[in-house]
Amino acid sequence: GAAPGAAKSPKVSPRVGPDASAPAPPPPAINHTPITEKRLLAFLEKIEESCSPASLAGMHLPALPTLPPAPTASLYIQSRLERVWDALLMPLPMRLDMVLLYTHRDRAGHLETAIKAWEAAAVAVVAREDALLALSSLQSAVEEARVGHLSVSAVERQCVELLQLSALVEQHATSLREDFGFSLTFDGLPYPSEETGVGKQQVVAFMEWLRDAPHLKLLS
């Protein structure tokens, strides 16, 4: 046995802290996404401002295709109607209904005003369909990992433009229905419909979806 009074071996205390010889764990990753809650709130404010009546009135939209010269006024009117019908993909029965409606003697004097209203509506619908297709194509490209980075500002502009065009289409649809007795359609269906409708909630959800895409690098 140990001699009385001999020094005892110190007890080994259980290790409490990290092993100084082991490498320190890396700090947790910080998501530096530019799509923050603050930015989303500012985005919503931008939408409200951009979709005001004054902003919509100042929008510049592309014109319908130019028509060739017509030998008579009646043929020119017919060409304008056909241009609207083609832009809206209007089926033949609806075209005939429109002709019967606007050539009735009670409405014949309003034909020019009605055609102008339809032309403005067709321009807005075509522009909205183009904007909707652009965002849909972008979504598909992200889903299929065909894009690796995106400008958030550019996507925000696309979303705002789509909502502006949607509001403009709603205005034209109301005018055609209340002032000219006809419903706005596209490809034979009421327009915009529940399936094609896009609002603030949808575009905010789209931005959040982009933020959470694992492979996507977002630039301000």
Helix H or strand E encompassing 186: strand 185-186
User: Which pLDDT score, from 0 to 100, does residue 17 have?
Assistant: 40
Q: Where are the domains of the chain?
A: 43-54+69-219
φ and ψ of 59, to 5 deg: -70, 140
Q: What is the pLDDT of residues 175-204, one digit of tens each?
A: 999 998 899 999 999 998 877 788 999 999
Q: What is the mean pLDDT of residues 105-131?
A: 89
H or E element at residue 149: strand 149-151
Q: Taking the complete model, does pTM exceed 0.85, yes or no?
A: no
List of residues 6+ apart from 160 with CB closer than 8 A: 46, 47, 50
